Amino acid sequence: MDRFLETFFNPVVMAKYAPDVIAGMGVTLVIAAAVIVAGIALGLGLACLRAYRRKIPNFFIICYADIFRALPPLVLILILYFGFPSIGIRLSGSMVLFIVLSLTLAAFAEEIFWAGFSSVEKGQWEAGIATGLGFTRTLVYVALPQAVRLAMPPLVNRVLAITKMTALGSAIGVVEILSASTTAQSFSGSATPLTLSVIAYLAIFMPMVVFARWLENRTAWKKR
């Protein structure tokens, strides 16, 4: 038991590397926040565009959403990070992480919002247009609020899953939580920094998981 504590909870190592891991938390939080804002905005924009039901834009939106839902983000990260410099586009690791995760989140968000739009009853659209609002304003004032409410629980779950993927940044040299702690692990020769990273992730994501569960239970309750 002592050996276990010594290996995974060594207080000296903890004290020494906690600042690095906390700095990593800052990086994780900033990238996660940027991904959430950009991904949801793009996804919502695309879903609205899709609501106009124009054939050609919709074809591209559907292809985009399908492809980015089917591809593992790590594949895209490696392509952007290692492939793009040779065509003259050099992006930093955090930029690559931001772009790939935002595009992935946007693809899922588009599908989720679109499902929300599709489940708004036809009568609502007709009623909006009958009052003289026009299509765009019916979309914004009538359909959108209902779609967003329906989209919330699956969207929160998806946001959680994708912001967790900021850990992939450790594969391309972004000094977020995981890479700060693996570096510390190899310097200290102790597994304690890995424990620190687990604690750091739990501190950030546990509240989100609990929030997601609460949100789901609340909507499930209302349905009855």
Among 22, 33, 130, 206, binds other proteins (CB under 8 A): 206
Contact characters 19-58, other proteins, x per CB under 8 A: ----------------------------------------
First to last CA, the chain: 50
Task: Indicate whether 168 belongs to the interface with other proteins (CB under 8 A).
Answer: yes
Identify the residue whose tokens are 């009623």: 127
Q: Which is nearer to other proteins, 52 or 84 (CB)?
A: 84
Candidate ranges 34-42, 53-61, 125-133, 160-168; the one touching other proteins (CB under 8 A): 160-168
Query: Smallest distance from the beta carbon of 40 to other proteins, in angstroms?
Result: 19
Task: Indicate whether 143 belongs to the interface with other proteins (CB under 8 A).
Answer: no
Task: Indicate whether 12 belongs to the interface with other proteins (CB under 8 A).
Answer: no
Q: What is the 3-state secondary structure (H, E, C) of the chain?
A: CHHHHHHHCCHHHHHHHHHHHHHHHHHHHHHHHHHHHHHHHHHHHHHHHHHCCCHHHHHHHHHHHHHHHHCCHHHHHHHHHHHHHHHCCCCCHHHHHHHHHHHHHHHHHHHHHHHHHHHCCHHHHHHHHHCCCHHHHHHHHHHHHHHHHHHHHHHHHHHHHHHHHHHHHHHHCCCCHHHHHHHHHHHHCCCHHHHHHHHHHHHHHHHHHHHHHHHHHHHHHHHC
Among 1, 4, 15, 55, binds other proteins (CB under 8 A): 4
User: For residues 46 and 80, what is the distance between their CA atoms, to the nearest angstrom?
Assistant: 23
Contact characters 65-84, other proteins, x per CB under 8 A: -xx-xxxxxxxx-xx--xxx
Task: Indicate whether 215 belongs to the interface with other proteins (CB under 8 A).
Answer: no
Task: Indicate whether 185 belongs to the interface with other proteins (CB under 8 A).
Answer: yes
Task: Indicate whether 221 belongs to the interface with other proteins (CB under 8 A).
Answer: no
User: For residues 117 and 125, what is the distance between their CA atoms, to the nearest angstrom?
Assistant: 10
Query: Smallest distance from the beta carbon of 97 to other proteins, in angstroms?
Result: 13
Chain residues in the site for other proteins (CB under 8 A): 3-4, 7-8, 66-67, 69-76, 78-79, 82-84, 86-88, 111, 115, 118-119, 160-161, 164-168, 170-171, 177-178, 182, 185, 190-191, 194-195, 197-198, 201-202, 205-206, 208-210, 213, 220
